[in-house]
Structure 1
Amino acid sequence: MKKICIVFSLLLVNFIARSQASLAPLTVEKIMKDPRWMGTQPSNLQWGADGTTLYFDWNPENALADSLYYITMDNRVPRKATPMQKKDLLPARNLVYNHARTQYLYTKEGDLYLTEVKTAQTKRITQTASPESNPVFAYNDTKVVYQQNMDLFAWDIKTGELQQLISFQKAPAPSRGQEKKGNTQEEWLKKDQLEWLEVVKDRKQKQDAAEAYTKSLPKTRGVRSVYYGDRLVRNAQVSADGRFISYILFSMDQSSKRTIIPNYVTESGFTEDINGRTKVGTSFGSSELYVYDSQKDTVFTIKTDSLPGITDLPDYTRDYPAKIEKDAKKKPSRGVNVSRISWSPKGAHCVVEIVSADNKDRWLMQLDGASGRLSLLDRQRDEAWIGGPGISSFGSNSGWINENEFWYQSEASGYSHLYSYHFGSGKKTTLTHGNWEVQGVTLSADRKYFYLTTNEVHAGEKHFYRLPVTGGKADRLTTMEGANQSVLSPNEKQIAYLHSYSNKPWELYLQDNKAGARPQQITDKAQSELFRSYSWRDPELVQIHAADGKLVPARLYRPANPDPSKPAVIFVHGAGYLQNAHKWWSSYFREYMFHNLLADQGYFVLDMDYRGSAGYGRDWRTGIYRHMGGKDLSDHVDGAKWLAEKYGVDPKRIGIYGGSYGGFITLMGLFTSPGTFAAGAALRPVTDWAHYNHGYTSNILNSPAVDSIAYRRSSPIYFAEGLKDHLLICHGVVDVNVHFQDVVRLNQRLIELGKDNWQVAMYPVEDHGFVEPSSWTDEYKRIYRLFEDVLKKK
């Protein structure tokens, strides 16, 4: 009998241990804890300079923060780097090679170093208080040019001779007689001194004579001074042959008012102000390009007023005929910004990327340094806005294949693809094509291949390819389904990559750089035992027919046992331009777990890549132009109809929620389509686009002063009277992205309208992205309770 009791006790202990180690049933409290409970994922892959060691951030010890780990090609078991190894780490991505790849440059702790590849011998070039930066090889690889503060210097590799190439100064020092005049009293005293005191008069006459003599001497050539005044010096660089120095002078708009975010929960006990951003409609400023020809000792201002189409009015101005008539008389040139300057490897050519201030044109122009003239290589016009993978108003992906061939990305075909331009023949070549996107590009060391990341296999996958620089068929190098974030080793023999799948977080893999190579898994700690104890769903990837005939990609979570009331929830991802209906581990991992919880409780959950989402080309990207809350919202309305028609979801029991842009869509859904969504949770939502930032909003809606129509039909605050269903708003008080002011203004509007079916939860210590597990838990308990109370009510 005693033996039976002992056995029973052991079985009971094992049962309790297994029960405690099981995550099911899911609860908000369990999934919203500090994410370290889930496991640890590697990140930030970087190869060491010699290419034999791969470093990455990782946290298998479940410490407060990640530590640096590494593997070698001889020992692929991850080891923790020592503090000295971390201090001495020289990432390969920070190295700058000469053309022959026999030497490389790097900066460390503000000083400059040169290493011989063959002997691995390193020479320290500088040891100064002021940091050096942006080193390059120039003068046919005989000199090192670098920047100190704003000025450019050239160091001769053979002789060690140092030469200053250009001096940027705020203003010239006044010469004698040009000093700023004093007031009337001061000028009278000065005149009186010279008139009555002989010694003062005598000394002035001698100084004037000395200056006159100095001015009469032949001029000796010194360092060229450039005076920038109140502007900023940007992108100063020298051509490879050393003849030309190009630079940008940027004028920043200092007059625009900045926002203030009050921070109430502080260490001091006082309310403290956080200085925030400006609002949309504020000018970023303007830039001008200059070239200094050291051979002629001449500075050119590069004129952009004759760029092709520079006076073309955007199509949206047709909605404002009075403005068209006014502009037709003046024909003003649109403002432009120079975003990138790129000199060829030997200095014979220069390509300048220029973007219009309204971001509807991007010009690639050839610059003749000797004359300062620009000639057109490529113009991309988009009546919405220039964008897409590898394409940015701050400088797009581009570079040199060789001295005469330049590569770049463009959405000219409707998808971001790779192109080249040959300076000898003037021929433009399409290197990639198809209804998919090139999402990352690097050029091989020998300049014979491009290494590309694309979604050619499926819009919801990312794979790594090798493509000849002449174009043609690309070799696919990664094979595992999902996403592969790849980093090539310096010797290009190995590919390290992070791989994940829809229900499997990121792990580190290593494989040989060839098609068909077998990947080796390096890490295996992304899923803790507790995390593995639950069978996480692999969401179905579906396509939903929109009212306009388009197919909207989406993720669907189907319940094994639908609740008898047949409820459903639609999640709206944030950012607008972001992709979430894909086959890799989502950055919305908390929401992913919450959707599993909802499915366990009998809900259907739909997560759509609505119009404006990333991954599907130009037309999808710009589908929200001048009407946010238009097609992006109607896609979700169509999703609700699809759930009812295909799965028998009760159309009166559909909820919607999301954060940031997702919060905005939630508001627009409840305000402009009452009855479609019985309940909505708008998290950190934009309520009025005229109060958001310029860089994001002006692309999509232009600016309030010139396109008020777009803002009027896109901002929820104007439609608040339409609220009939249940609304929950959650917002961080110290949100520096979407300001808490957005919610306060909407609150006042709802109060004035007499609405009583809404509530607000504020989070005093949270910014736009919540940090505290207690905040995440509180927010999602409220969301869950809203759906349970409204969507399942009898």
Structure 2
Amino acid sequence: MLKKTTFLLFLTGISLQAQQQLTVEKIMQDPRWMGTFPSDVRWDDHGEVLYFKYNRDNDPSDSLYRINIKSPGTIEKVHAREAVALVPETGSYNKDRTKKLFTEGKSLFIYDLRKRKRTELIQTDEHIGNPQFLADENRIVFQTGANLFTYSLSDGHIRQVTRIRKGEAPGKKDKKESPKAQWLREENLGLLRVVNEREEKKEQSREYAEMIAEKPPYTFYPGDRQITNLQLSPDEKFAVFNLRTPGDSRKTVVPDYIDTSGYTTDLRTRAKVGEETTKTEMAVYNLEKDTVYPVKTGALPGLDDLPDYTRDYPGKDWGSAERALMISGASFSPDGKHMVVNVRSKDNKDRWIALLDPENGNLKNLDRQRDEAWIAGPGIGWSTGGGILGWLPDNKHIYFQSEESGYSHLYLLDVTTGRKKALTSGAFEVFDPFLSADGTHWYLTTSEVNPGERHFYKMPVYGGPMEQLTSMTGNNEVSLSPDEKHLAIRHSYSNRPWELYLKKNSVRAKETRLTSGRSEAFAAYPWRDPELIHFTAADGTKVPARLYLPEKGVKNNAAVLFVHGAGYLQNAHKWWSLYFREYMFHNLLTDLGYTVLDIDYRGSAGYGRDWRTAIYRHMGGKDLSDQVDGARFLIAEHGIDPQKIGIYGGSYGGFITLMAMFKEGDTFTSGAALRSVTDWAHYNHGYTSNILNEPYNDPEAYRRSSPVYFAEGLKGHLLIAHGMVDVNVHFQDVVRLTQRLIELGKDHWEMAVYPAEDHGFTEPSSWTDEYKRILKIFNTTLLKEE
């Protein structure tokens, strides 16, 4: 007979074991069961209070909370009225950061940081946007409608700077006279003298009226083009803006079968790749000469360079016209004397940073970045422009990021001499660099310690040793206080979600944790710290991955490979995964005896330019062979049965799963393809055209990259799961694929549809149903369970 204390310990052990046991229903429930974790961290303008989103009180959604750093142990909820009265985070400062401009609704405010006083300057009938201090800080500029206005802080005088009106200029004929109409008119005037005389009198009257009339002020009419990025130079001599001509492309319709109305409704979504016809130009508004003229791109080098892939189509006429370009908004030097612009080719093979001469609209190339795959990377951005680009306070150096060395690093360039200098270098990448308030230092995040870690650094403005200011292993997302005395750090580790820390801005200072949001139920389970490993691919490349190993007593010699989505994303790292549900599912699989491998295949983020572009013109090439080589690694090094290997993933991961099941059926026994692309010619333009070019220009790239062309290769068991109102990867993708599978007479496949779900599922019931099906297919095919 057990003693009382022994019996109680026995019962406690059973209770703890039951609490720790994972089920699909448990891990796929509303994420609030895990606890509350801080997000959207920001400082007040005085560096005294931290604000962040949190949910300590189990509200329907996250609310705004605050911590006063003088009493960091107290977390207070910010009530709605108080939140409305806060000075917004967004706004613009004067040089010494004593005043801040911001807008609320249709009002413009200025906040005096020394007096801690906010003052309403203007209230209008239209939205006010982009207020900025000018070189004369007694004057500010803001945009209302399609025009810029200046405001004098000394006397309150408002002056309209630009005159831009939508549409065509008055009197301008929309259509030219047809040849037939012109002939009839001239014939009539020649035959009938009275008609001719009357017409001459009308013309003389018009000319006289124009001669004596007061000349109207100059007004620019953009026609059917949209005005964007309207900016005034700090010296108030020029304005620049973009002219955007929307493309006339056909949009795909996604039906919603469970709309509230009870009727099927159509959601108009995006166009397919290759149908992007949007045109972007730039113009200069010369305020002294009161005229507008276009920015001229013809002097940029390499405009007629053909991409290398065109050599694969020797019979195709590529023409001789210059490539279409996209110009981003101008960046002005602090004194307004220099302007630089960011220009991209629409095929995204080139990025130019160019000096703009506002007197004539000419561009002078300062730096050309060329990539035969596509221009991208941290701080560089994708095809629509953007990227890091700005000025040092000395008015002659610009800064930007480039993958010139194979990794994205920070550069300076002297616009007066053209000399360029790399401020950082090495086999790592730079993220989110920004200048200190006094312009003497950089603050930046890098992966120098390890590709799977992120740390925050300080570096002299013209380069030099970097001081590492964070020390906690994992990811350190830093928000620097306005006075630069403190770091607010949102930190996480592989098996610990995000928490908020405070640290003095010093290498030697220690971090103090401010939040502790894990629930008891979540903390009760011993979440695994997956091992970061590298295995050797067939081509000799070291491939990074996360490895989950089961205990010897439960190991079943079966394995599951997870393929992360997004393509350009990193998941083999040391911080809390964006795929937290999948991470928990991998713990469940490992409890059941599975070995799990999560690979940062070729095309993933975090490993430099060559890794990023290894999938160019062949998605389902190196990114798929990395999965096959990962399976072989598990067989050779961890005793996995070659007949007991499954694969799954969503979005890009679903695409790779389909390619694996169709092309590598001898490697993978079963797979689950979730919200997967089945034919890249049906995906969007911005993402796909970079990697595969355009389908009518490079059809071979699309044929070898699209699973629908390889469906006849299916041998194993396949689950296809898709949301029916997916406006990213349309449900049409899997409908077309299932028809192919039907026509091919394939067995051992099934499809699960989710009528209420978009690309990213939101309903716990949908997550639960989907992952119960995934678990079932692996248990029944890899473990032969009924």
The answer for the alignment partner of 1:569 in structure 2 is: 560
Equivalent-residue separation in structure 2 for 1:165 and 1:440 (angstroms): 34
Equivalent-residue separation in structure 2 for 1:174 and 1:433 (angstroms): 57
User: Are the counterparts in 2 of residues 337 and 354 from structure 1 also a CA contact under 8 Å?
Assistant: yes
The answer for the alignment partner of 1:312 in structure 2 is: 305
Equivalent-residue separation in structure 2 for 1:106 and 1:629 (angstroms): 48
User: Are the counterparts in 1 of residues 241 and 329 from structure 2 also a CA contact under 8 Å?
Assistant: no
Residue-by-residue CA offset, 1:511-539 (whole Å, 9 max, x unaligned): 111112111100001x2111111111100
Shift of 1:442: 1.6
The answer for the alignment partner of 1:26 in structure 2 is: 22
The answer for the alignment partner of 2:246 in structure 1 is: 252
Map 1:287-326 to 2 at 5 A. 287-323=280-316, 326=317
Q: 1:566 to 1:207 in 2, by over 3 A?
A: same
Shift of 1:751: 0.3
Equivalent-residue separation in structure 1 for 2:437 and 2:224 (angstroms): 41
2:671 aligned with 1:675: no
Map 1:264-283 to 2 at 5 A. 264-283=257-276
Q: 1:38 to 1:670 in 2, by over 3 A?
A: same
Instruction: Give the AA of the match of 1:486.
Output: V
Equivalent-residue separation in structure 2 for 1:84 and 1:759 (angstroms): 52
Return 60-69 or 310-319, whichever deviates more. 60-69
Q: 1:108 to 1:51 in 2, by over 3 A?
A: farther
User: Are the counterparts in 2 of residues 47 and 91 from structure 1 also a CA contact under 8 Å?
Assistant: no
Aligned match of 1:342 in 316, 331, 344? 331
The answer for the alignment partner of 1:133 in structure 2 is: 129
Equivalent-residue separation in structure 2 for 1:277 and 1:610 (angstroms): 28
Instruction: Give the AA of the match of 1:311.
Output: D
User: Are the counterparts in 2 of residues 22 and 530 from structure 1 also a CA contact under 8 Å?
Assistant: no
Equivalent-residue separation in structure 2 for 1:139 and 1:445 (angstroms): 17
Shift of 1:22: 4.9
2:383 aligned with 1:387: no
Instruction: Give the AA of the match of 2:219.
Output: S
Shift of 1:170: 2.1
Q: 1:171 to 1:602 in 2, by over 3 A?
A: closer
Equivalent-residue separation in structure 1 for 2:95 and 2:268 (angstroms): 46
Give 3-state SS (helix, strand or coil) of 2:351's partner: strand
The answer for the alignment partner of 1:746 in structure 2 is: 737
Equivalent-residue separation in structure 1 for 2:202 and 2:685 (angstroms): 58
Give the superposed CA RMSD.
Answer: 2.8
Map 1:437-448 to 2 at 5 A. 437-448=429-440
Equivalent-residue separation in structure 2 for 1:681 and 1:434 (angstroms): 39
Residue-by-residue CA offset, 1:640-685 (whole Å, 9 max, x unaligned): 0000000110111100000010000000001011110001000111
User: Are the counterparts in 1 of residues 45 and 113 from structure 2 also a CA contact under 8 Å?
Assistant: no
Shift of 1:206: 12
2:443 aligned with 1:451: yes
Shift of 1:8: 5.8
Shift of 1:91: 3.4
The answer for the alignment partner of 2:193 in structure 1 is: none
| Unaligned stretches of 5+ residues in structure 2 | 189-197
Instruction: Give the AA of the match of 2:156.
Output: G
Aligned match of 1:40 in 36, 43, 61? 36
Give 3-state SS (helix, strand or coil) of 1:677's partner: coil
The answer for the alignment partner of 2:484 in structure 1 is: 492
Equivalent-residue separation in structure 2 for 1:738 and 1:426 (angstroms): 44
Residue-by-residue CA offset, 1:117-152 (whole Å, 9 max, x unaligned): 333343322111211110111253231111001111
2:365 aligned with 1:376: yes
Equivalent-residue separation in structure 2 for 1:368 and 1:687 (angstroms): 47
Map 1:310-709 to 2 at 5 A. 310-323=303-316, 326-327=317-318, 330-392=319-381, 393=383, 394-402=385-393, 403-525=395-517, 527-561=518-552, 563=554, 565-709=556-700
Q: 1:21 to 1:63 in 2, by over 3 A?
A: farther
The answer for the alignment partner of 1:227 in structure 2 is: 221
The answer for the alignment partner of 2:192 in structure 1 is: none
The answer for the alignment partner of 1:80 in structure 2 is: 77
Return 121-130 or 543-552, whichever deviates more. 121-130
User: Are the counterparts in 2 of residues 680 and 728 from structure 1 also a CA contact under 8 Å?
Assistant: yes
Equivalent-residue separation in structure 1 for 2:390 and 2:169 (angstroms): 40
Shift of 1:341: 1.2
Map 1:94-133 to 2 at 5 A. 94-133=90-129
Q: TM-score, normalised by structure 2?
A: 0.93
Residue-by-residue CA offset, 1:547-594 (whole Å, 9 max, x unaligned): 111111000000013656410000000000000000000011111111
Shift of 1:207: 13
User: Are the counterparts in 2 of residues 552 and 635 from structure 1 also a CA contact under 8 Å?
Assistant: yes
Q: 1:273 to 1:17 in 2, by over 3 A?
A: farther
User: Are the counterparts in 2 of residues 450 and 467 from structure 1 also a CA contact under 8 Å?
Assistant: yes
Instruction: Give the AA of the match of 2:58.
Output: N
Give 3-state SS (helix, strand or coil) of 2:718's partner: strand
Instruction: Give the AA of the match of 2:83.
Output: K
Equivalent-residue separation in structure 2 for 1:78 and 1:57 (angstroms): 11
Residue-by-residue CA offset, 1:303-331 (whole Å, 9 max, x unaligned): 113310000000010111122xx33xx42
Instruction: Give the AA of the match of 1:248.
Output: N
Percent of matched pairs sharing the same residue: 52
Give 3-state SS (helix, strand or coil) of 2:585's partner: helix
Q: 1:692 to 1:176 in 2, by over 3 A?
A: closer
Q: 1:529 to 1:588 in 2, by over 3 A?
A: same
Residue-by-residue CA offset, 1:238-258 (whole Å, 9 max, x unaligned): 11100011111111112x110
User: Are the counterparts in 2 of residues 21 and 530 from structure 1 also a CA contact under 8 Å?
Assistant: no
Give 3-state SS (helix, strand or coil) of 1:495's partner: strand
Equivalent-residue separation in structure 2 for 1:213 and 1:605 (angstroms): 84
Aligned match of 1:162 in 158, 175, 181? 158
Residue-by-residue CA offset, 1:430-477 (whole Å, 9 max, x unaligned): 111110000211211111111101111000001111111111111111
